[in-house]
Amino acid sequence: MLDPALKAELLRSLGRLVKGLSALFWGLPLALLICVKTATSDWLKPLGIAPPLLANGLLFYGLWQLSHFQKQERVWNHALDRAKLLCIANIGLSPFVFWWNQVPQVPLFSLALGLLTLSSLLFLFNLNHVLQRLTAMLPDETLRHETNFFTSLNLYLLLALVALAAVLLTLEQINSLPVILIDFLKAFELVRQWVFVFLLLLPLAMTMTLIWKIKEAILTSAFEDRPPDHAAS
């Protein structure tokens, strides 16, 4: 049996861990929806830069809550620190979503929006790594293997998305292309939006599912009085 003081401290850290996972679960779709709506419509115009700032701030709050769990584990904390740095970058770039909507012809605003998109993809990439490190400290072996499989799949999908975007941007800068390649690009233009949506929403949905399952596993472990291991992988 654990010492009552140690048990109370562990339960507090588990409570913060669950709060952080909940914030991430709701913050991910909110950040995507709000940033897209702010950039493409006037739906949130009266609120100015506040909606994208708050949405990305919710993600940082979630990571901050997670950082109270297993503070002594260096690998876990390094993964969290990388994700938090990218989240801070997203918060700093998020006002440009609103400004680009108002003045899209300004090159600086377009550049900042592109950087925000890249930073957001890297954040999702690193968040999956955070989930891997978290499940490595939990006693559920099945959840650990499931998380490793789906986070690896998510990473490949995100890499494919970044690679595809880089190839298309490169080809658009070339003036003379073979006819067959030009025809392919014209045909791909009809489905490009759906391909990008698929490559983004699928890993996002799988990440949210993993977050929910990890949160439920932690709650079950706490109620069954079986706290997670202190050993990191």
Structural domain contains residue 116:
yes
How many domains does one find in the chain?
1
For residue 89, the enclosing domain spans 4-223
Number of alpha helices (DSSP H) and beta strands (DSSP E) in the chain: 8, 0
Structural domain contains residue 157:
yes
Structural domain contains residue 102:
yes
Residue 109 half-sphere exposure, CB side, CA atoms within 13 Å?
13
Q: What angle do CA 211, 120, 199 make, to 5 degrees?
A: 75
- Regions of the chain with pLDDT less than 50: 226-233
Structural domain contains residue 100:
yes
Distance separating alpha carbons of residues 121 and 113, to the nearest angstrom: 13
Structural domain contains residue 233:
no
Output the pLDDT for position 66: 93
Structural domain contains residue 231:
no
Output the pLDDT for position 21: 94
Distance separating alpha carbons of residues 206 and 187, to the nearest angstrom: 29
Output the pLDDT for position 4: 65
